[in-house]
């Protein structure tokens, strides 16, 4: 028997190479042991059913993988036919080599959100940006108003200060004029008193 045929038969028996051949061999050994055992309560009986269930599960997985491969092959053939109509120079082998690259690109695209979700997020961000812009403009107008009010307040304070300074200057001038007028009146009084005294002396002498 050629080596290729041995490998092919072993792959057919072993399936995906995960121990199917060993499971079947173990099941056959357990079955033969159970057949040759005369005991009524033989633990090999339950063990054989457990091994049989494992073989059925493995067979179901292999069948599912086989059906999936068949569907993928049919899908690839349909895609190749569609591409072959548009690009006759492309071969199936070349297209098959491109599928891993396409799968990698598809996985990268799948990591990002869908277009509808992205557009929805953009709309929400635009609404938030509009609200922030309106808030900024409102605060800027309030700040400008407060600046004008502050400028008016400072101007009013300066005007009041000037008025107070002018009133103070007027009061000082008036006080100075009053202080300067008091000595003159004192001199007039003293002159009058001197004249009166002289008149009295003259009368006494007479």
pLDDT per position as a tens digit, 160-200: 988 888 888 877 777 777 666 555 545 445 545 555 555 55
Better pLDDT: 6 or 110: 110
Residue 67, pLDDT above cutoff 70:
yes
Looking at the chain, the whole-number percentage of residues with pLDDT higher than 90 is 18
Better pLDDT: 49 or 39: 49
Whether the Cβ atoms of residue 48 and residue 27 lie closer than 8 Å to each other: yes
Helix (H) or strand (E) run with residue 176 in it: helix 115-205
pLDDT at 188: 47
Half-sphere exposure of 146 (CA within 13 A, CB side): 6
| Rounded Cα–Cα distance for residues 180 and 58 (Å) | 129
Q: What is the pTM of this model?
A: 0.33
Q: Report residue 94 as tokens.
A: 């070349």
């Amino acid at each position: 028997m050629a080596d290729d045929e041995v490998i092919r038969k072993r792959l057919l028996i072993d399936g995906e190479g995960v121990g199917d051949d060993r499971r079947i061999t173990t099941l056959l050994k357990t079955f033969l042991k159970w057949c040759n055992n005369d005991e009524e309560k033989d633990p090999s009986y339950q063990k054989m059913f457990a091994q049989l269930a494992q073989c059925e599960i493995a067979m179901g997985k292999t069948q599912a993988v086989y059906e999936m491969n068949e569907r993928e092959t049919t899908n690839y053939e349909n895609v190749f036919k569609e591409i072959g109509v548009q690009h006759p120079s492309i071969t199936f082998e070349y297209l098959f080599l491109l599928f891993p690259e396409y799968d990698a690109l598809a996985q990268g695209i799948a990591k990002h959100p869908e277009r509808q979700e992205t557009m929805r997020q953009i709309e929400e961000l635009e609404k938030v940006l509009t609200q922030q812009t309106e808030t900024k403009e409102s605060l800027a107008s309030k700040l400008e108003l407060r600046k004008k009010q502050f400028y008016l307040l400072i101007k009013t304070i300066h005007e009041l200060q000037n008025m107070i300074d002018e009133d103070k200057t007027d009061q000082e001038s008036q006080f100075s004029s009053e202080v300067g007028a008091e000595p003159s009146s004192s001199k007039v009084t003293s002159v009058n008193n001197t004249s009166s005294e002289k008149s009295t002396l003259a009368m006494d002498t007479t």
